[in-house]
């Protein structure tokens, strides 16, 4: 079997048979990969915790006919250790990993891509965003909620769904008191669509700061407005076209 080498973050795992697991990984330069880790659930597995969710590992993967197989794994950054001991960080990391999972095409689509680009080694922007967010959570750099929401907005924007903030989507006026997910951003009272969220200038500023990663503002601000979480949750689910359960849980718990 041909093998390829890459680093990646484990997004989720799923038990397979008696001792194996299917591991979903966002890799630095091979997109999203699903691979079997054989024997990983045995007590003395050679993989140890290296293939647990939120681990960033260096991987050697063999290309299989239906699923790839992880043949070697070494830890680069054990984000999971610091994240899993704090419940809010764990919730935030789950929302981040689930969003990354849903945002990326299923792996069968990139088998052809892999064949065409076997030597691509530049980590893509989505991967850099993901390791940035998990690293910030593990180091307790900011509150888990702001890290997760900032990640989701930025990952969505990078995937092509950048919300318009601060001026009306239709007429461009700066006097916006609504945010419409379907409309693509902030709207004035005249053009707002049914189902829009009512937003204050502060809420829009918070969304802008999350999108730009303006941590100076976010770290000194009071708690995020409730509508900010609701907008981010709806924004991602609307454009990804699937529910992101961890994001809903995050919004209701923190
Ligand atoms: Zn308008």
Per-residue pLDDT of 58-104, as tens digits, reads: 999 999 888 899 999 999 999 999 999 999 999 999 999 999 999 99
List, in sequence order, every residue forming a beta bridge with 77; answer none if it has no partner: 56
Q: What are phi and psi of 211, to 5 degrees?
A: -70, -35
Q: How far apart are CA 83 and CA 227, in angstroms?
A: 26
The string of pLDDT tens digits covering residues 121-144 is 556 899 999 999 999 999 999 999
Domains of the chain: 1-77 (2.40.50.140), 82-253 (1.20.1440)
For residue 7, the Cα-to-chain-centroid distance in whole angstroms is 17
Find out whether 46 and 65 touch, Cβ atoms under 8 Å.
Answer: no
**How remote is the CA of residue 183 from the centroid of ligand 1, in Å?**
11
Burial of 81 (0-12, 13-18, 19+ CB in 10 A): middle
Distance 178 CA to ligand 1 centre (A): 10
Residue 116, pLDDT score: 46
Q: What is the pLDDT of residue 133?
A: 98
What does the alpha-carbon distance between residue 235 and residue 15 come to, in Å, rounded to a whole number?
A: 31
What pLDDT was estimated at residue 118?
Answer: 46
- Residue 6, classed as helix, strand or coil, is strand
Rounded to the nearest angstrom, the distance between the alpha carbon of 166 and the centre of ligand 1 is 11
**pLDDT at position 119:** 45
Residue 254 pLDDT = 64
Asked if residues 219 and 142 have their Cβ atoms less than 8 Å apart, the reply is: yes
Ordered alpha helix ranges (H), 117-143: 125-138
Expressed in angstroms and rounded, the spacing between residue 149 Cα and the centre of ligand 1 is 27
Cα(238) to centroid(ligand 1), Å: 22
pLDDT of residue 251: 82
Give, for all 254 residues of the chain, the pLDDT tens digit.
Answer: 799 999 999 999 999 999 999 999 999 999 999 999 999 999 888 898 899 999 999 999 999 888 899 999 999 999 999 999 999 999 999 999 999 999 998 775 445 445 444 444 556 899 999 999 999 999 999 999 999 999 999 999 999 999 999 899 999 999 999 999 999 999 999 999 999 999 999 999 999 999 999 999 999 988 899 999 999 999 999 999 888 999 988 888 76
159: CA distance to ligand 1 center in Å? 26
What distance in angstroms lies between residue 161's CA and the mean position of ligand 1's atoms?
20
Please check whether residue 90 is in contact with residue 112, taking contact to mean a CB–CB distance below 8 angstroms: no
Phi, psi at 124, each rounded to 5°? -80, 165
Ligand 1 center–CA 150 separation, angstroms = 26
Per-residue pLDDT, 113: 46
Distance 204 CA to ligand 1 centre (A): 16
């Amino acid at each position: 079997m041909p093998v390829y080498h890459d680093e990646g973050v484990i997004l989720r795992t799923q038990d397979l048979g008696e001792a194996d697991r299917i591991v979903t990984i966002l890799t630095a330069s091979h997109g999203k990969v699903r691979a079997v880790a054989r024997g990983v659930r045995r007590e003395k597995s050679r993989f140890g915790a290296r293939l647990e969710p939120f681990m960033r590992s260096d991987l050697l993967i063999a290309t299989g006919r239906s699923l790839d197989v992880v043949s070697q794994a070494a830890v680069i950054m054990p984000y999971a250790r610091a994240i899993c001991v704090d419940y809010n960080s764990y919730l935030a990391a789950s929302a981040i990993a689930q969003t990354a999972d849903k945002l990326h095409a299923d792996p069968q689509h990139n088998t052809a891509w892999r064949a065409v680009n076997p030597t691509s080694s530049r980590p893509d922007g989505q991967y850099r965003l993901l390791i940035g967010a998990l690293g910030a959570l593990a180091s307790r750099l900011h509150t888990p909620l702001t890290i997760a929401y900032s990640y989701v907005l930025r990952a969505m924007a990078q995937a092509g769904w950048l919300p318009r903030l601060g001026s009306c989507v239709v007429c461009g006026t700066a006097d916006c008191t609504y945010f419409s997910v379907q409309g693509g951003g902030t709207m004035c009272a005249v053009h707002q669509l049914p189902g829009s969220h009512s937003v204050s200038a502060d809420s829009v500023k918070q969304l802008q700061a999350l999108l730009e990663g303006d941590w100076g503002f976010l770290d000194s601000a009071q708690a995020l407005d409730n509508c900010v979480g609701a907008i981010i949750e709806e924004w991602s689910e609307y454009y990804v076209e699937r529910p992101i359960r961890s994001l809903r849980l995050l919004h209701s718990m923190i």
